[in-house]
């Protein structure tokens, strides 16, 4: 039987007062060290728990819909579904069969239980996974352990239990504060469950760090509705807010029903406006817009996600999950049967990460794509060191008109914004890159809103 048998790690020391400079990224190794090979071993692990009551209409994720069989208590109900225990068993086999990248025991700094709806998984099974991870890789003294939870899938006791296991960050999938919109999305919960869940999370002792997840540009969503959701969010005082812009994916119900920019979805202009409103309101409420879709109170960045943005390596376990180890990105099979076969291959040693095959161009693209999503931006010196000065200069030249038009911001070593003219001067200077300009980032909100265009321009420079 799977049972939680490890000591609690919930009583972490209270958080240190937030650092003074809010724009600083958390103290982590710069991505550049991972761009230069060999990359440091992973200190993060993503664990996919794919179970949902039903599939939301916009979702194209590898999930397992358990069916709405039960109207029973959120604590047991689906939790007893044998498919969950079976899956966790498989997951544990994958963990067991995974060789740590480093032998000198780099412990995990972050663990992220994503889904799916991880809050449907009984805490005892979550404990077993954490247990396995600790046994295999070790956990640092104060790891960030996040879990995604949906309203209506947990009560106070369940949350307490999870926190007792060491979970110290909750990402609450609220998405909207309007019953009509929740229904239109096919969410398995209503507004009442949202309020209940917020109550449970904010009342939970030992849990200071939680994120409210919202989706903008939903069908029939008006500016007023969006402002209402933001108001409710700010009132709930989460330490973190994720604002996702709805993506219409092929193969989803929404993909059949809607076309981006066409009613009942908001027009492109309206949708951009929702993004701008979020940026404005949340900034005014004291949240830093530290990544395209992430906001946080100072010091409460999601360390796990920051691993991604900084292009550092990470483990991943479970159905359809993507790992990044030794410079290789690998996505596991999205179908349960294939995933199970793959785990078996892994166990008998019939599968291993292919040797590092990602070329420098791909590496440079990853760095640009990920770092430009963040407020910290791209570290030009480090980029130049890894990928060459001429590429860096080409990149800067490509962005120069957008610096002038305000979509791209240049910053000095202290991440203070510089004038476009400084950038021009700096580029003409023959010496080392970044004599004055050290970072470039996309502006908030205009640059972020056009991030695809800007990043694909950079791609064109990297791989002409």
Partner 1 sequence: MATATASRLAVPAQRPSTTATGRRRAAALSPAPVGRPRALSAASRGRVVCPAAPASASASTSDAGQDRLQKVPISNIRNFSIIAHIDHGKSTLADKLLELTGTVQKRDMKEQFLDNMDLERERGITIKLQAARMRYVMNNEPYCLNLIDTPGHVDFSYEVSRSLAACEGALLVVDASQGVEAQTLANVYLALENDLEIIPVLNKIDLPGAEPDRVAQEIEEIIGMDCSNAIRCSAKEGIGITEILDAIVTKIPPPQDTAKSPLRALIFDSYYDPYRGVIVYFRVVDGRIKKGDKICFMASGKEFIADEIGVLSPKQMQVNELYAGEVGYLSASIRSVADARVGDTISHYSKRAERALPGYSEATPMVFCGLFPIDADQFEELREALEKLQLNDAALKFEPESSSAMGFGFRCGFLGLLHMEIVQERLEREYNLNLIITAPSVVYHVNLVDGETVECSNPSLLPEPGKRRSIEEPYVKIEMLTPKEYIGPIMELGQERRGEFKEMNFITENRASVVYELPLAEMVGDFFDQLKSRSKGYASMEYSLIGYRESNLVKLDIQINGDPVEALSTIVHRDKAYSVGRALTQKLKELIPRQMFRVPIQACIGAKVIASEALSAIRKDVLSKCYGGDISRKKKLLKKQAEGKKRMKAIGRVDVPQEAFMAVLKLEKEVL
The contact pattern for partner 1, residues 230-249, with x = CB under 8 A and - = no contact, is ------------xxxx-x--
Site for partner 1 (CB under 8 A): how many residues? 50
Q: How far is CA 179 from the centre of its chain?
A: 26
Token duo for residue 414: 């202290």
HSE-CB at 11 with a 13 A cutoff on CA atoms is 2
Applying CB under 8 A, among 223, 235, 268, 432 the residue interacting with partner 1 is: 268
From residue 251, give the alpha-carbon distance in Å to each of 49, 187, 219: 22, 18, 17
User: Which strand ranges, in their side-by-side order, compose the sheet holding 139-149?
Assistant: 288-291, 294-296, 240-245, 209-216, 169-175, 139-149, 108-115, 44-49, 315-317
For position 145 contacting partner 1 by CB under 8 A, the verdict is: no
By C-beta, is 217 or 239 nearer to partner 1? 217
Place of tokens 């309007």: 178
Estimate to the nearest angstrom the gap between the alpha carbon of 13 and the chain centroid. Answer: 25
Asked if 343 touches partner 1 (CB under 8 A), the answer is no
Interacting stretch for partner 1, rule CB under 8 A, among 130-138, 195-203, 270-278, 413-421? 270-278
Binding mask 55-94 for partner 1 (x = CB under 8 A): ------x---------------------------------
Q: Helix or strand or coil: residue 303?
A: helix
Closest CB to partner 1 among residues 112, 383:
112
Structure tokens at 254: 């929404």
C-alpha distance across the termini of the chain, in Å? 56
413 binds partner 1 (CB under 8 A): no
Asked if residue 28 binds partner 1 (CB under 8 A), the reply is no
Establish if 407 lies at the interface with partner 1 (CB under 8 A): yes
Task: Decide: is 271 part of the binding site for partner 1 (CB under 8 A).
Answer: yes
Binding pattern for the stretch 355-394 against partner 1, x by CB under 8 A and - elsewhere: ----------xx--xx--x---------------------
Pair 190, 182: CB distance under 8 Å: yes
Interface pick for partner 1 out of 34, 233, 307, 310 (rule CB under 8 A):
307
Of residues 400 and 436, the one with the C-beta less far from partner 1: 400
Exactly one of 28, 156, 360, 450 binds partner 1 (CB under 8 A); that residue is 450
- Looking from the CA of 162 toward its CB, the CA atoms found within 13 Å total 29
The torsion region of residue 400 among left (phi > 0), alpha (psi -120 to 50) and beta comes to alpha
CB closer to partner 1 out of 404 and 432: 404
- Say whether residue 448 binds partner 1 (CB under 8 A): yes
Residue 354 contacts partner 1 per CB under 8 A: no
Cis-peptide into 116, omega within 30 deg = yes
At residue 215, φ and ψ (nearest 5 deg) are: -120, 130
CA distance linking residue 317 with residue 392, whole number of Å: 35
Report the phi/psi class of residue 42: left, alpha or beta, with left for phi > 0 and alpha for psi in -120 to 50. beta
Does position 42 bind partner 1 by CB under 8 A?
Answer: no
Give whichever of 114 and 219 is closer to partner 1, judged by the CB atom. 114
Given candidates 335, 401, 413, 421, which one binds partner 1 under the rule CB under 8 A? Answer: 401
Reduced to 3 states (helix: H, G, I; strand: E, B; else coil), residue 285 is coil
Interface region with partner 1, contact rule CB under 8 A, candidates 1-9, 152-160, 431-439, 449-457: 449-457
Q: Which is nearer to partner 1, 68 or 331 (CB)?
A: 331
The nearer residue to partner 1, 4 or 294, going by C-beta atoms, is 294
User: Facing residues of 242 across strands?
Assistant: 213, 294
Mark out the alpha helices in 69-190 (DSSP H runs).
82-97, 123-137, 156-165, 179-185
Q: In the set 103, 269, 357, 390, which binds partner 1 (CB under 8 A)? A: 269
d(CA 319, CA 339): 6
Give the list of residues 6+ apart from residue 53 with CB closer than 8 angstroms, or none. Answer: 65, 66, 67, 68, 78, 117, 120, 153, 188
Can residue 251 be called a binding residue for partner 1 (CB under 8 A)?
no
Note whether 198 and 236 are within 8 A (CB).
yes
Interface pick for partner 1 out of 31, 226, 402, 439 (rule CB under 8 A): 402
3-class SS of residue 131: helix
Here's the x/- map for partner 1, 188-217, by CB under 8 A: it reads as: ------------------------------
Among 51, 258, 275, 423, binds partner 1 (CB under 8 A): 275
Residues near partner 1 (CB under 8 A) are 46, 48, 61, 112, 114, 242-245, 247, 268-269, 271-272, 275, 292-293, 305, 307-308, 314, 316, 321-322, 324, 329, 331, 365-366, 369-370, 373, 401-402, 405, 407, 448-457, 459-460, 463-464
């Amino acid at each position: 039987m799977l049972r939680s048998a490890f000591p609690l790690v919930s009583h972490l020391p209270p958080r240190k007062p937030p650092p003074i400079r809010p724009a600083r990224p958390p103290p982590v190794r710069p991505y550049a060290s991972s761009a230069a090979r060999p990359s440091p071993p992973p200190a993060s692990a993503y664990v996919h728990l794919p179970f949902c009551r039903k599939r939301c209409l916009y979702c194209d994720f590898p999930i397992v819909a358990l069916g709405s069989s039960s109207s029973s208590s959120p604590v047991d109900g689906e939790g007893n579904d044998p498919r969950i225990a079976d899956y966790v068993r498989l997951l544990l086999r994958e963990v067991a069969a995974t060789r740590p990248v480093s032998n000198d025991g780099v412990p995990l700094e972050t663990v992220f239980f994503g889904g799916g709806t991880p809050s449907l998984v009984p805490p005892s099974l979550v404990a077993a996974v954490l247990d396995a991870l600790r046994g295999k890789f070790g956990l640092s003294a104060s790891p960030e352990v996040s879990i995604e939870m949906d309203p209506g899938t947990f009560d106070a006791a369940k949350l307490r239990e999870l926190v007792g296991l060491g979970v110290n960050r909750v990402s609450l999938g609220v998405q909207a504060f309007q019953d009509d919109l929740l229904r239109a999305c096919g969410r398995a919960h209503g507004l009442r469950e949202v309020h209940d869940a917020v109550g449970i999370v904010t009342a939970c002792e030992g849990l200071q760090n939680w994120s409210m997840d919202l989706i903008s540009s939903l069908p029939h969503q008006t500016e007023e509705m969006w402002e209402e959701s933001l108001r409710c969010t700010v009132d709930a005082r989460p330490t973190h807010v994720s604002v996702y812009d709805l993506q219409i994916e092929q193969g989803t119900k929404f993909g059949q029903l809607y076309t981006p920019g066409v009613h009942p979805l908001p027009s492109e202009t309206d949708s951009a406006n929702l993004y701008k409103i979020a940026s404005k309101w949340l900034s005014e409420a004291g949240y830093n817009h530290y990544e395209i879709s992430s906001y946080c109170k100072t010091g409460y960045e999601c360390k796990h996600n920051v691993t991604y943005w900084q292009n550092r390596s990470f483990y991943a376990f479970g159905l359809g999950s993507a790992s990044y180890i030794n410079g290789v990105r690998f996505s596991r099979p999205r179908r349960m049967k294939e995933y199970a076969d793959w785990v078996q291959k892994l166990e008998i040693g019939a599968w291993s990460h292919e040797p590092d095959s990602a070329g420098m161009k791909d590496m440079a693209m990853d760095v640009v794509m990920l770092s430009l999503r963040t407020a910290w931006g791209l570290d030009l010196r480090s980029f130049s060191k890894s990928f060459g000065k001429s590429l860096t200069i080409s990149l800067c030249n490509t962005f120069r008109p957008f610096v002038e038009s305000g979509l791209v911001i240049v910053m000095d070593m202290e991440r203070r914004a510089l004038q476009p003219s400084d950038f021009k001067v700096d580029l003409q200077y023959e010496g080392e890159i970044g004599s004055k300009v050290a970072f470039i980032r996309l502006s908030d909100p205009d640059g972020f809103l056009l991030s695809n265009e800007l990043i694909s321009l950079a791609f064109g420079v990297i791989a002409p």
